[in-house]
Amino acid sequence: MSISAGNAKPNPLDLILLWLGRILMGLAVLALVFLFVVFVILAINLIQFPFDYDQGEGFELWNAVLFSQGRWIYTDNEVYPFYSSLYGPVYPLLMTPLVALFGPHIAVGRALTFAVTLICGGVIYSIVYRETHDRLMAVIAALLFFASNFVYQIGALCRQHMTMVMFDLLGVALIARAVEESDNRRAHRYIVLSLLCLMLAGFTKPLALAAVLAVFAFLFLRRPKWAILYGIGFGLVVGLVFWLLNVATGGYWVTNMITANTNPFVTGQAELFYRQWFSLHPVITILGFGYVLYTIYLDRISVYSLYYLAAVAFGALSGKWGAGLSYFVDAIVAACIGTGIGLAVLRRWLQSRPRKRRPDQPCWKSIGLTAYGIVVPILLLVQFRANLHMPLDLPLTRPVAALLNIPSESPNRFRQDYFDTVGYTQLGHLTTDADIEAGYQIVEWVESTPGPAWTEEAMLSLLAGKDEVVTDPLVLYNLYQNGNLDVSEMIRMIDAQEFGIVVYRARFYPIPVLQAIEENYGLVDQIEMNGFVYDILLPRTDVD
Amino acid sequence: MSGEESAKDRKTGWLDNLIITKRMLGIALIALGMVIVIGTFAVDLFGVGKWGGIGPSQRLAIAGGVLIALVGVTLIPLGDRPA
């Protein structure tokens, strides 16, 4: 066996194993590219779909519209239009110039998020390449990120989460550059930029605290004095911005960002999400941990290791009522970086092993490299299969579904035309012309009624040309559950039938509000769009 | 040590020259783990929490604290290598 033959001319078995490894790696990269193409297809499909796909997208767009009109998005939920946002201002502020340029179209937000997700992949590539100079592993790390079910599902939605992840990632990448910099002035410049990114991440979504802690822990390990000084400065600046926002909004910043986000911890929910995260990302999770252990015990602890540990720990917050799988995207990003760097380091280490000294000795270097060449692509293929998701009715995906024996029908699916290893999921499928047609039927109902519209999704009011979006149900629900919402004014308006129409999707409002609507509005139509049934209700005086 | 170097050291101070070692990190992690475990038990002394005895969140926190302390223990033999 010539893998024990050292410098001798490779024999046929060596060549077979070498080419087997190359073919497997080619297949693995092709499989991951397939998932990236599926993601691009979904993004293009969603950018063309003018309605809410995930409930909450339209409200994010409405926040940008309000900013473009010079209005705050943190207001009194007890006064008409009973609307406020419970998210940070950065994402809608990024959207604001685009809304001013292109108008209040959901495509604006989705295109922005899609670009942000592509930037995340690009940053992962650049980090792995900069650390290892291994282009293949850098590409694979980025593709593994795009292959994740969670990234696929939220990576082109008009939602703020990916923007937070992008700023987290930039903050982490910049701090890594800072500590390597021999010129102190440049190092300080990188640190300031890193902290600026982290502040933007935090004011996009407070979950960015995981990345903030990782960055400061890393800076403390490398430059304790800088960590203390910058930590004080960062705390003061963040505190000042927080205070200014609260003063400028008359205290509604705290009401909506803190009180409306204080939800109970659901026992078992976090455990369920942890299990799902691991079952969908087993290979990168384990390889990522392997990289963390390597940096702890054999090398210096890197910011990527700390980012991974912090992100995994903060995944526990997914147990909060209303949280979701998106809470693990930071952990997935860090795992992809760890996987890419870890595999590249392993290959470099194998390549640096000495060749055998005696002909009767096995050549561990050759054995190791051959095993690496075969095992790594197999692991990538295992990860691909664990992440598998695709629409089933496309010419591109049909042969893949047939090859992988994906059943065409399953009771565990939200839509039969979409397969996802997540199982039941309301995200990821492609929208159809029938969905768009159904959406415009609902909009026609809203347009045909006078006065403000009480719609559970913002896009229905926006596309109908209403002046205001009335309520964000999640904010109302959370505040009501916390005992911080007086619903008497909205119930008075409902009793007076001041809203021309009510459109429900999930009836996600405080119970007294639902009861008032039930008493004053009657069902006139039900329209199915995007897998959901929308109830159209008109004032009972009109219905009767 | 030359006069120039000692002047520089005086100017920069000990915090500038501090290198966090694996051993120091290990000790810090052991302390952190113990604080988490003790703090989690202390929660019951102050009557916080809805569960009688040790609840599921406390069990998780105790497990986390013990894990952090154990990682700390494994770092101590690595000595003065920079963390």
**Residues of chain B positioned with their CB less than 8 A from the CB of A267:** 56-57
Would you kindly state where each structural domain of chain A is located, as residue ranges? 20-49+105-352, 433-543
Q: What is the pLDDT of residues A256-310, one digit of tens each?
A: 999 888 888 887 898 899 999 999 999 999 999 999 999 999 999 999 999 999 9
Is the pLDDT at A5 greater than 70? The verdict is: no
d(CA A261, CA A328) in angstroms, rounded, equals: 18
**Alpha carbon of B72: minimum distance to chain A alpha carbons (Å):** 11
DSSP label of A56? T
Count of Cβ atoms closer than 10 Å to residue A121 Cβ: 23
Q: Give B47's contacts (C-beta < 8 A, 6+ positions apart).
A: none
Sign of the Cα torsion A106, A108, A109, A115 reads positive
Q: State whether A296 and B71 contact (CB < 8 Å).
A: yes
Q: State whether A224 and B74 contact (CB < 8 Å).
A: no
Q: Which two tokens stand for residue A373?
A: 């060449």
Choose among A525, A543, A534: nearest CA to A456. Answer: A534
Of A222, A224, A296, the CB nearest to B15: A224
**Residues of chain A positioned with their CB less than 8 A from the CB of B64:** 313
Burial class (CB in 10 A: 0-12, 13-18, 19+), A36: middle
What pLDDT shows up at residue A2?
44
Q: What is the pLDDT of residues A350-406, one digit of tens each?
A: 999 887 767 777 788 888 999 999 999 999 999 999 999 999 999 999 999 999 999
**Alpha carbon of A211: minimum distance to chain B alpha carbons (Å):** 19
Asked if A156 contacts A46 with a C-beta cutoff of 8 angstroms, the reply is yes
* Triad B74, B80, B83: Cα angle to 5°: 70
Q: What is the pLDDT of residues A315-350, one digit of tens each?
A: 988 888 888 889 999 999 999 999 999 999 999 999
Asked if A112 contacts A160 with a C-beta cutoff of 8 angstroms, the reply is no
* Triad A214, A194, B65: Cα angle to 5°: 10
Q: State whether A297 and B74 contact (CB < 8 Å).
A: yes
Burial class (CB in 10 A: 0-12, 13-18, 19+), A331: buried
* Exposed e or buried b per residue across A477-502, where buried means at least 16 C-beta atoms within 10 angstroms of its C-beta: bbbbeeeebebeebbebbeebbbbbb
Q: What is the pLDDT of residues A182-220, one digit of tens each?
A: 999 999 999 999 999 999 999 999 999 999 999 999 999
What pLDDT shows up at residue A131?
97
What pLDDT shows up at residue A1?
40
Q: Is any Cβ of chain B less than 8 angstroms from the Cβ of A298?
A: no
d(CA A21, CA A177) in angstroms, rounded, equals: 34
Mean pLDDT across chain A, nearest whole number?
Answer: 94
**Percent of all residues in chain A with a pLDDT value above 70, rounded to a whole number:** 97
Q: Which range, of A105-109, A284-288, B61-65, averages the lowest pLDDT?
A: B61-65
Q: State whether B18 and A224 contact (CB < 8 Å).
A: yes
DSSP label of A302? P
Interface predicted TM-score (ipTM) over 0.90: no
**DSSP-assigned states of every residue in A342-385:** HHHHHHHHHHHSPPPSSTTS--HHHHHHHHHHHHHHHHHHHHHH
Asked if A461 contacts A446 with a C-beta cutoff of 8 angstroms, the reply is yes
Q: Is any Cβ of chain B less than 8 angstroms from the Cβ of A225?
A: yes
d(CA A341, CA A141) in angstroms, rounded, equals: 8
pTM here is 0.92
Asked if A407 contacts A401 with a C-beta cutoff of 8 angstroms, the reply is no
Q: State whether A301 and B83 contact (CB < 8 Å).
A: yes
Is the pLDDT at B48 greater than 80? The verdict is: no
Largest CA distance in chain B: 66
**Alpha carbon of B68: minimum distance to chain A alpha carbons (Å):** 11
pLDDT band at residue B45 using 50, 70 and 90 as cut-offs: confident
d(CA B32, CA B69) in angstroms, rounded, equals: 7
Q: Which two tokens stand for residue A416?
A: 């039969």
Q: State whether B18 and A225 contact (CB < 8 Å).
A: yes
DSSP label of A320? B
> Could you give the residue ranges of the DSSP H alpha helices within A223-363?
224-248, 252-257, 269-280, 282-297, 303-314, 329-352
**DSSP-assigned states of every residue in A63-131:** HHHHHHTT--S---TTSTT-----S-SHHHHHHHHHHHHH-S-HHHHHHHHHHHHHHHHHHHHHHHHHH
Count of Cβ atoms closer than 10 Å to residue A437 Cβ: 11
DSSP label of A300? P
Q: Find the length of chain A.
A: 544
Which of B15, B50, B73 would best serve as a mutation to test chain A binding (most A beta carbons within 10 A)? B15
User: Mean pLDDT across the stretch A416-436?
Assistant: 95
Is the pLDDT at B26 greater than 70? The verdict is: yes
d(CA A202, CA A211) in angstroms, rounded, equals: 9
Of B16, B56, B82, the CB nearest to A225: B16
Strands A453-455 and A501-504: parallel
What pLDDT shows up at residue A263?
83
Return the CA Rg of chain A.
26
Which of B57, B59, B70 would best serve as a mutation to test chain A binding (most A beta carbons within 10 A)? B57
- Amino acid sitting at position A124: I
Asked if B83 contacts B18 with a C-beta cutoff of 8 angstroms, the reply is no
d(CA A95, CA A74) in angstroms, rounded, equals: 17
d(CA A294, CA A338) in angstroms, rounded, equals: 10
pLDDT band at residue A85 using 50, 70 and 90 as cut-offs: very high
Of A225, A300, A313, the CB nearest to B83: A300
Strands A389-391 and A418-420: antiparallel
Largest CA distance in chain A: 97
Is the pLDDT at B49 greater than 60? The verdict is: no
Asked if A502 contacts A454 with a C-beta cutoff of 8 angstroms, the reply is yes
**Residues of chain B positioned with their CB less than 8 A from the CB of A316:** 60
Residues of B engaging A, defined by a Cβ cutoff of 8 Å? 13, 15-16, 18, 20, 25, 56-57, 60, 64, 71, 74-75, 78, 82-83
d(CA A423, CA A201) in angstroms, rounded, equals: 31
Strands A418-420 and A453-455: unpaired
- Amino acid sitting at position A118: L
**Residues of chain A positioned with their CB less than 8 A from the CB of B82:** 300
**Alpha carbon of B2: minimum distance to chain A alpha carbons (Å):** 23
In SS3 terms, A401-460 reads as: HHHCCCCCCCCCCCCCCEEECCCCCCCCCCCCHHHHHHHHHHHHHHHCCCCCEEECCHHH
